[in-house]
Amino acid sequence: MTRSVRWGVALGTASLLASAGTAPVAAQSLFDRLRQAANVARTLLPISTTKEVEIGRGIAATIAGRYPVSHDTALNHYVNLVGLTVASVAPRSDINYHYAVLETPDVNAFAAPGGYIFITRGALRLIHTEAELAGVLAHETGHVNAKHVINQIRKSDTMREVKNQVDIQGGVLDQLVGGGTNMLFMGLSRGDELEADSLGLEYASAAGYDPGGLAAFIARLSQHAAEGPLADFYATHPKPDERVERLNAIAQHEGLAGGAILAERYRAIVK
Amino acid sequence: MSARGLLRLAPALAILAAATPRRAPAQRAQWTDVVYVPGYWSGGRIVTQPDSLALVMRVDYFSAPPRWRAEIRRTSDGQNLAAPEILVGSGDQGVVVTQLGTTPLDQHVLGHDPLVRALVVFDRAGQRQGPAGGRITDRTPDGKVVRVVFRRATRNPSFDTALLDPGNRAGGRTLLASGITAVGDQRSASVVATAGARGVDRVKTPGGDVPVPPDTAAISRIERYSVGSVALEAFLRTGGLGPYALPGDSTRRHP
């Protein structure tokens, strides 16, 4: 526990004990606060890894229903290799990472909980180098590792009725899958996207890729802003210029530079 | 002292307890050595050849001086890395952890393996010997390459230091939480959903609601697919990624 957190706990305990020793009105207030805390705790019931994977599997099945998963074995193998390379930098030991290509001209990528990560053929067409692909997959891996979708699901109305992990099944599971899928298609919060950018930059750079890959790809999106396949992407992500500026600032602040770009290897496999 | 007095004192005690300095935990470190020798694999044997390198083992290290742990995965065919052999130690002394217990390294067959002897090197304080990262080339006095080690440190080590303790009952299981091997050979049935959600038949998109027939078969296909750790290692090496990305080159000569 860090010192600042310890101080926070100490002050909270002190405040609680102090209020316990005062008048009955204050005691009433304490019980109200405890009840409120219990409600919050119940609302934010943790979701186990097993349940996270079940939810993620359902979301992934829905994504695969909307956009067919590519049967191009060599391409999927390559995307898995790049994805696992960036995931290996800071992996969650409790899940398996799966990467796959979706056959659609739409430009997008999705990260379902539990490690199911997709990138569209349209995005691959806009990407020029392996470093850019690594940046995009690292960004999506960041969403999984930071549990962005799962944390939103925990705050959902459906979870208010859930008392323990066993309750996450049947209709409840379907509702959570539906909610999570809508989040992915409608877009995560600006804060989650920017956090995933930071994590993506960190993972790709630590894996040995040029840290400018993700920023280069996002900058290229700006040049194609008016095109139809990018409509959903623009509707669900922060403005590209802001993201590029922020990524460049982080790279400069952290002193990240150099690394593999691998444009030829990318072109040889992604035709 | 009255109960009310105790209550008044409690906040101050709580603050004091929290503010009391605690002993700083040992600095944790984690790194990986990927080890090659000159030659190439053929029929389960390494044919010596000076201008090529054959992968022979990967060692993942976890350290909180003076304690440390090394997980050694060898290949006997150049295609697959075997399950790890686990060493734990304190200072410059190590033991091999087996299902049955522990054996001092000196009395175990691993202790007679020159590769293991060369790689698992800690001083009396449990500090790593040799460079922190980069390419390390071991040569004979006449300049011949004995082995090449690609070393990569993990930026933010995260592991339970209790598993550096040989007396820990869980000490025999692999501690590897990060690194290529863990993600490359990912086949842990315990975290693969068995029942699986059916998905939903309608989703919201920025363009309006869209009907969607969930495709669970596609997800099963994705889950069955596995990238082997050796294939991933080769991918990294040809791309100059991971441990192969580091420009440093340390040469050690044998006495």
Tell me: the pLDDT tens digits for A120-176?
999 999 999 999 999 999 999 999 999 999 998 888 777 777 777 777 777 788 888
Residues A29, A94, single domain; the answer is no
CB contact under 8 A, A208 and B18: no
Shortest Cα–Cα distance, B212 to chain A (Å): 5
CB contact under 8 A, B196 and A57: yes
Spatial distance between the Cα atoms of B32 and B15, rounded to a whole number of angstroms: 42
C-alpha dihedral sign at A251, A252, A258, A261 = positive
Q: What DSSP string runs through A127-140?
A: --SHHHHHHHHHHH
Say whether both A33 and A61 belong to one domain: no
Angstrom CA distances, B215 to A115, B141, B197, stand at 17, 62, 11
- Please state the φ and ψ torsions of residue A168, each to the nearest 5 degrees: -85, 80
What is the number of structural domains in chain A?
A: 2
Across A200-204, A212-216, B77-81, B142-146, least confident range = B77-81
Task: Inform me whether the pLDDT recorded for B194 exceeds 70.
Answer: no
A58 with B199: Cβ contact below 8 A: yes
B83 touches chain A (CB under 8 A): no
**Locate tokens 């006095």: which residue?**
B141
Query: How do strand B145-153 and strand B134-139 relate by DSSP bridges?
Result: antiparallel
Same domain, A141 and A17: no
Q: Which residue has the tokens 């957190």?
A: A5
Do A74 and A14 share a domain, yes or no?
A: no
The interface residues of chain A toward chain B in range 27-46, judged by CB-CB distance below 8 A, are none
Q: Which domain does A224 fall in, by range?
A: 49-269
CA distance B206 to A106: 13
Whether residue A30 sits in one domain with residue A141: no
Residue A161 to chain B, least CA–CA distance (Å): 19
Question: Measured between CA atoms, how close is B142 to chain A, in angstroms?
Answer: 33
**Distance (Å, whole) CA B144 – CA B253:** 9
Minimum CA–CA partner of A90 in chain B: B178
Cα atoms found within 13 Å of the Cα of residue B88, Cβ hemisphere only: 21
pLDDT at A145: 94
Helix (H) or strand (E) holding B87: strand B85-90
pLDDT tens digits, residue range A28-63? 565 566 566 555 555 577 888 888 999 999 999 999
Is B190 a residue whose pLDDT tops 80? no
pLDDT at site B167: 63
Do both A39 and A66 map to the same domain? no
Instruction: Kindly state whether A186 is in contact with chain B, defined as any CB-CB distance less than 8 angstroms.
Output: yes
pLDDT tier at A261, thresholds 50, 70, 90: very high
What lies within 8 Å, CB to CB, of B24 at 6+ separation is none
Domain check: are A106 and A128 in the same one?
yes
> What is the 8-class DSSP label of residue B172?
G
pLDDT given for residue A229 in this prediction: 65
Exposed, middle or buried by CB within 10 Å (0-12, 13-18, 19+), for A14? middle
Per residue in B158-189, pLDDT (tens digit) is 777 777 876 654 444 444 433 444 455 544 43
Q: Are A36 and A144 in the same domain?
A: no
CA distance linking residue B71 with residue A236, whole number of Å = 43
ipTM score assigned to the predicted complex: 0.78
Mark which residues 108-147 of A lie under 8 Å from B by CB. Answer: 114, 116, 130
Q: How is the beta sheet containing B102-104 ordered, strand by strand?
A: B102-104, B93-97, B85-90, B67-74, B53-64, B29-38, B145-153, B134-139, B249-253
Q: Do A53 and B191 touch (CB under 8 A)?
A: yes
Q: Taking the domains of chain B in order of start, what are their residue ranges?
A: 29-173+234-253
Q: Are residues A157 and A242 in the same domain?
A: yes
Residues A35 and A148 occupy one common structural domain = no
Residues A126 and A258 in one domain: yes
- Using CB atoms within 10 A of its CB, is residue A35 exposed (0-12), middle (13-18) or buried (19+)? exposed
Task: Please tell me whether residues A119 and A222 are part of one structural domain.
Answer: yes
